[in-house]
Amino acid sequence: MMDSYDGATAVSQREESPMMGEELAAVLFHQHPQPMWICDHETLAIRAVNESAIEHYGYSREEFLQLTLRDLAVGQQDNDEALDRLSSAVSVHRWRSRHRRKDGMIITVEMTARPLNFAGRGALIVMAQDITDRVKAEEALRRNEERYRQIVETAQEGIWVIEAEARTWYVNERMAEMLGYSRQEMLGRPLYDFLDEAAQVRARQNVEKKFEGVTKHGDFRFRRRDGSVLWAIVSVKPLYNDAGQYIGALGMIVDVTERRQLERQLQQAQKMEAIGRLAGGVAHDFNNLITVITGYSDLLLRSLEETSPLRRIIEEMKRAGERAALLTRQLLAFSRNQPIEPRLLDPNGVIIDMEKMLRRLIGEDIELITILRPDIGSVRADPGQLQQVLINLVVNARDAMPDGGTLTIETDRVELDAEYVARRLNVRPGPYVVLSVSDTGCGMDPETLSHIFEPFFTTKGERGTGLGLATVYGIVTQCGGYVDVMSEVGRGTTFKIYLPRIIPPRDEQVTAAPSRCACGGTETILVAEDEPLVRELIREVLQRKGYTVLEASNGVEALLAARRHPGPIHLLLTDVVMPLMSGTELAAQLQRERPGTKVLFMSGHTSRAGRSLALLESPAMFLTKPFTPEALAARVRLILDASDE
């Protein structure tokens, strides 16, 4: 019974299968959720269309049957090429196209075509999948990715992504630029290759601990390709996959090299300022003592016979005092407290005048080359101080070339802009004259460079005082300039002196003060000096020259002495800095009470004299300590003889 039934059923299925297959295909075609068409293989004319296509595109069945597959597509070359290939297609063919619906809306579709027989002719069954929303999402994602890529690539911070083993997976352009490499050169290399030794140790510890699962912040020192150091503030965030496994880290790197350099410059400037105040104060006190030593030595020598056995001893005392005076002048120059008489100078002229002397100074085994630009302009400086700067730099260069070499002195002019001076403390933008002194000597390491302008720092052992470059620093700074030094061990040193460039008015001239003899007189002089030894020396010198001397240890005593004196007071000789009342205050009060009294100021420390010296009508009204008896007598006579006009 079962076998008979099964056999009848099988015969029935074999007889009905062609009809059932066509009906099933028709049902599947018309009910398929995606738009489908049957098109002529050659002309691509639409022969049949399913319900989904009618619904999705908005055309009726009759309208579709009047169209070809080309009519649906919005003209584009890629689409035409794909349709041209359909006529020879023997298997499944896929392409992307853009179609226009009946309402005018453009949609993006992925097309699939397969050859078949339809009504005895070659045909294609074509299906379209609308991917418009997906394409829009992809485009939005692409735009976002591009936007983020631009943000990353244009960021001023370096961005660095490492894998779990610390190999570089990604760096942005800024990071590569900061280190001087190309991005390709950095990819795949361990992070440690770009760090200094101390930073390598810290980085390895952090990587081994997977940054302890938290964002880390800190300062790191990187090594640039050229060997220089990059100081950076680094923030590192560990990265994990969806399973929570550590896969690497993302670092944000901010270059703070310039900030660190400015901080070091500020620290150095503060240190130099503190040392300068100390040096200036010491020099001021020494000047009073040296004035007494050299002054009395001079007076003793004048009173001794040429054959006196004491003469040699006193001369040695005087020479020692003069050497001490030279040291104090160097200290004052370093602390920018040395009294100066600035005038307009042509630096080229100063160098030309000194060239023969400089050649003798360096010796025959060193070649001296001068390269002087003719149109550099003028600077305002004390000529003696500018000569001292040159001599000190040349001597320093000579000592750096014990086996001979080349010494080059150059002049040029530059314009320092705001960007340049922003990286340097106490430098103003504007035009400058540059005086360069370069040698081919032994050079200096960074540690030595950081101390070269400090007083008493020397690399010459007992041969050096440590004041040469300190004096250069003080003189140049006092002139409103600055010193830049470049040096490398074994490759020489270059000092660049920047002095403000000045174009002088046509009518400005520099005139020398007339020479005066150191003769005496009979006038009355009021001396105000708080240091007893200096005051006694001044009284001794002036009385020997025939003057009447009134003494006071401060301004208040000086005013009382003047009021008690019945006769005229021709000159007030006063220290600038004194207790109770300054020398300038004393002078102003005395001239109100005695209008005809002339004034001569003296001091060994110009910074403590403050603005007072800037208000002087003439440099001749100021006498610098230490001074000799002859210099004192000459300056007193000069002031007394000066016209009141």
pLDDT at 291: 78
Amino acid at 198: A
Decide: helix, strand or coil at residue 542: helix
**Is residue 590's pLDDT more than 90?**
yes
pLDDT 10s digits, 93-136: 888 888 999 999 999 999 999 888 877 778 889 999 999 888 88
Please, which pLDDT band fits residue 606 given cuts at 50, 70 and 90? low
pLDDT at 35: 95
Average pLDDT for 582-600: 91
Question: How does strand 492-500 pair with strand 482-488?
Answer: antiparallel
- Least confident range from 333-342, 361-370, 533-542: namely 333-342
Distance between CA 1 and CA 3 in Å, rounded?
6
Q: Which residue has the higher pLDDT, 615 or 92?
A: 92
Three-class secondary structure assignment of 225-289: CCCCEEEEEEEEEEEECCCCCEEEEEEEEEECHHHHHHHHHHHHHHHHHHHHHHHHHHHHHHHHH
Q: Which of 50-59, 293-302, 393-402, 483-492 has the highest mean pLDDT?
A: 50-59
Residue pair 525/571 in contact (Cβ under 8 Å)? The answer is: yes
Q: In terms of residues, how long is the chain?
A: 645
Distance between CA 494 and CA 353 in Å, rounded?
22
Q: Which residue has the higher pLDDT, 623 or 57?
A: 57
**Is residue 1's pLDDT more than 50?**
no
Please, which pLDDT band fits residue 273 given cuts at 50, 70 and 90? low
pLDDT 10s digits, 284-300: 667 777 777 877 888 88
**Is residue 313's pLDDT more than 90?**
no
**Is residue 419's pLDDT more than 80?**
no
DSSP 459-476: SSGGG--S-HHHHHHHHH
How far are the Cα atoms of 66, 363, 450, 537 from residue 540, in angstroms, in the given order?
132, 46, 48, 5
pLDDT at 396: 85
- Least confident range from 285-289, 335-339, 369-373, 539-543: namely 335-339
Residue pair 117/98 in contact (Cβ under 8 Å)? The answer is: no
* DSSP letter, residue 583: H
Give the whole-number percent of the chain exceeding pLDDT 90.
23
pLDDT at 151: 66
Mean pLDDT of the chain: 80
Q: Which two tokens stand for residue 632?
A: 């004192």
**Is residue 444's pLDDT more than 90?**
no
Distance between CA 528 and CA 601 in Å, rounded?
10
How far are the Cα atoms of 524, 562, 595 from residue 566, in angstroms, in the given order?
11, 8, 15
* DSSP letter, residue 294: H
